[in-house]
Amino acid sequence: MTLPKTPSFRLDGKRALVAGASSGIGLACAVALAEAGAEVTVAARRAEALDDLVTQLQAAGHSAKSMVLDVTDVAGTQAAIAENGPFDVLVNSAGLARHTPADDTTEEDFDAVTGLNIKGAYFLTQAVAKGLMEAGKPGSLINISSQMAKVGGLDRAVYSATKHAVEGFTKSMAIEWGKRGIRINTICPTFIVTPLTQSTFDRPERRAWIEDKIKLGRIGEVEDIMGGVVFLASEASSLITGTALMIDGGWTAE
């Protein structure tokens, strides 16, 4: 009998790009990929925050560099990826939320949220995939979506719409690029404690709503995302594409 061998979760020799890496989930994903052996390029608009992160990663013995990037600038993003790629792994954690009741949504807020969460995410993913195709390489592309891609939520009509859209283009891209060995998936977290979500947790009635909906009885931490991103980036998930990894504490189970 020949025993099967567990595929490796290691990312040694892989180049990873993490957009939205200056804080929160993106920062945690960058740390996770670096710990798994990847050479990580951290990208965001805030150069100082990126430099601090790179310094800490390098001090811990990891390979890391920074790239100032605004993914809403499509031409600039395409040029930066073409110049610095190809990247074997993409984690797109750049995102924006402006929560209001649906009848109070302004056109400005709608355009800002959709411009980053849909348009920016789409063309960043496209740019990394094109780099892989030109190099004839496989890859794993991961968009940080949300449990709100599967359900609705209070004051979240626009945000939820953008994450539903991310799930849609992820599935279509997976169909188109699968034969090239390019996998693309999403991670759908529940409410995670980050600077982006702190204002929600500061509202007692919203915090009570969240705690009631999460079946495991606790609010998410960024560490809850780290294992999932390494799994999807690695060969351990080599037959997984076009799907969503729910890290929601059971929120969407009902």
C-alpha closest to that of 150 among 184, 120, 189: 189
Look up tokens 């400005």; give the residue. 108
Starting at the edge strand found earlier in the chain, the sheet holding 39-44 runs 64-68, 39-44, 15-19, 89-92, 139-144, 182-189, 244-247
Instruction: Reply yes or no on whether 159 is catalytic.
Output: yes
Residue with tokens 């800490």: 56
Phi, psi at 62, each rounded to 5°: -100, 160
Widest distance between CA atoms in the chain: 65
**E strand map for 58-151:** 64-68, 89-92, 139-144
Of the residues 122, 159, 231, 251, which is catalytic? 159
> Among positive and negative, which fits the CA dihedral 58, 61, 226, 193?
negative
Enclosing H/E stretch for 183: strand 182-189
Q: How far apart (Å, rounded) are the C-alpha atoms in residues 68 and 90?
A: 15
Q: Which residues are catalytic?
A: 159
